[in-house]
Amino acid sequence: MSEQKLFNIFLNKLEFDPLDYLISNEEQELTEVQKKTIENATSIMKDNIIGEIKAFGGNVKINEEKFKELENKADEELKNEEYQDIKKELKNYTKKLRELIEKTCVAIIPVKEMPWVDLLFRTVPRIIFEKKLELLDNNIAYYGEIKCILSRPIIFGKMKNEKSLFAPIMGAIDLGGYKLDESQKEPKSQNFSYISAIINSFDSIITKNHLAKYHEGYQRHGDPICDFLMNNNELMNSLEQITSGIESERVTSDIAVYSIAIPQTADKTTLVLVSDEGKDPKKYSRCFEALLRFSAECCNVPSQQPPASTQTVAQQPGALRTPGGQELKAWTADELAEEAQKRMITQPDISTWTEEELGKFAAERGTGLPEGMEVWTEHELQELAHKRQGGLDIPEWKIDESLKECVKCGYGLRPGWSRCPVCETPVGAEPEQKPVEVSKEEVIEELSEEIKQEDTEEPKEKSLEEVKEEKEDQ
């Protein structure tokens, strides 16, 4: 197991969440670093801010008792043998956790003349483990809820050596086990733990597979929303300027997801989020512009709702039955998407086929011979039979014409033999003529023919001598 994975297990067992240490600026003044970060994030929209900014910052001093409990829990966890290889490197983990908390801040910004009622900003600091602990504090995110609803979640990301693209998520988003409380009254965008789960989902293999499969399996085409968004060159150019985990070298994968639009069905809104991992000061304006264009274009997406009459028929519950009266289960589109998501979770590395591969399979089924299947000629089959004989040249059996056959039983007689060793027939004897078998019907038919011939024969004239002899006899 890699050191990074082992360290993540360590943090998960501690149930550490920097958002648990957030304090409102109304309760406690933020640190200078937090103030400066929020100022940089809000200065680009100052003319559109219509109220007070509500800010939150991580504070260890106010939560010292809670942090002390975390340290004690961490010390107990480190006694397990599984962390033996990283114990030395974890000496400064407390210091790194403090620093991560202090660099976590969130701002709720009320705005006007924009797609959102409230725009939100937050930092996304991370601790990585590569031979030693290191804090990455460059990642930021802008997000907000727009007053329109998409038919499905949409992600945006990059692939090495390929153009960036939008892709649909069919089914639920992989939130790493996080369960959203749909009954909460506050906007979902102000649920900080929910937003953290969404940002963490960008690194999920399942989420990246959605991007890869749409690229490879569907050739980046087919979903109406994605097609519409990708036709906007200004939106595409803006999102392509974002610094992803690939450019920041935070991830080793060839795929990076850094933007998402999630429909909130109950609220009839869509949550839109864009994340940037750049180190330059321009990342604030770059990330905000991408979010603004993405949100505005989502509001312009043509409605995918079916006509009222069609929608009514589709929503009418009705069981399907066979001619024999058996009831068949019917699935809705959402249920099918959910089942597909379950299969993807259990088999994240499941293979997919391109249209070209499917065409080859169809051609193979048409010919009856799969592509690449070995076919032998008659000459090759003869050589294969020769190999199976161990390489021996075994001649084919032929009749020895020099040997005579016994006239009675047909046994082969060698030169010098006087009798057949099987039936004792002398050599050179004439073959016995077998009696011809005649059936009763043939005999009767033959006699009948003779009688007919006798009846039809004319009487012969008698000679003088024959007449004298007859008289003498009388």
* All structural domains of the chain with their residue ranges: 1-137, 143-303
What burial class does residue 126 get, using C-beta atoms within 10 Å of its C-beta: 0-12 exposed, 13-18 middle, 19+ buried?
middle
In sign, the C-alpha dihedral spanning 272, 278, 284, 289 is negative
| Tokens linked to 452 | 């007919």
pLDDT at position 395? 59
pLDDT tens for the chain, residues 1 to 474:
677 778 788 888 888 899 999 999 999 999 999 999 999 999 999 889 998 999 999 999 999 999 999 889 888 888 888 878 777 777 778 888 999 999 999 999 999 989 998 999 999 999 888 777 889 999 999 999 999 999 999 999 999 989 999 999 988 899 988 888 877 888 999 999 999 999 999 999 999 999 999 998 888 988 999 999 999 999 999 999 999 999 998 988 899 999 999 999 888 999 999 999 999 999 999 999 999 999 999 999 987 544 443 343 343 445 555 544 555 667 777 777 777 776 666 665 566 677 777 777 766 665 656 556 667 788 888 777 776 766 555 555 566 667 778 888 877 777 777 888 888 888 877 776 655 565 666 766 777 776 666 555 555 555 656 656 666 665
Distance between CA atoms of 170 and 417, rounded to whole angstroms?
93
φ and ψ of 140, to 5 deg: -130, 165
391 conformational bin, left if phi > 0, alpha if psi -120 to 50, beta if neither: left
CA–CA–CA angle 377, 382, 384 (5° rounding)? 90
φ and ψ of 298, to 5 deg: -65, -35
pLDDT at position 454? 59
* In contact, 260 and 291? CB cutoff 8 Å: no
Coarse DSSP helix, strand, coil percentages of the chain, rounded to the nearest 5 percent: 40, 15, 40
Which residues lie below 8 Å from residue 66, measured CB to CB, with a gap of 6+? 20, 21
Q: Which residue carries 């020895």 as its tokens?
A: 400
Which residues lie below 8 Å from residue 298, measured CB to CB, with a gap of 6+? 115, 146, 148, 150, 154, 229, 261, 270, 272
Q: 3-14 vs 64-77: helix axis angle to the nearest 10?
A: 130
Distance between CA atoms of 125 and 467, rounded to whole angstroms?
154
Distance between CA atoms of 277 and 250, rounded to whole angstroms?
9
Distance between CA atoms of 417 and 421, rounded to whole angstroms?
9
Distance between CA atoms of 267 and 261, rounded to whole angstroms?
14
Q: What are the pLDDT digits (tens) for 221-252? A: 889 999 999 999 999 999 999 999 999 989 88
pLDDT at position 90? 76
* In contact, 146 and 111? CB cutoff 8 Å: no
Cα–Cα distances (Å) from 345 to 176, 177, 215, in that order, read 11, 12, 19
Distance between CA atoms of 469 and 94, rounded to whole angstroms?
160
Distance between CA atoms of 388 and 361, rounded to whole angstroms?
34
Distance between CA atoms of 358 and 217, rounded to whole angstroms?
10
pLDDT at position 16? 87
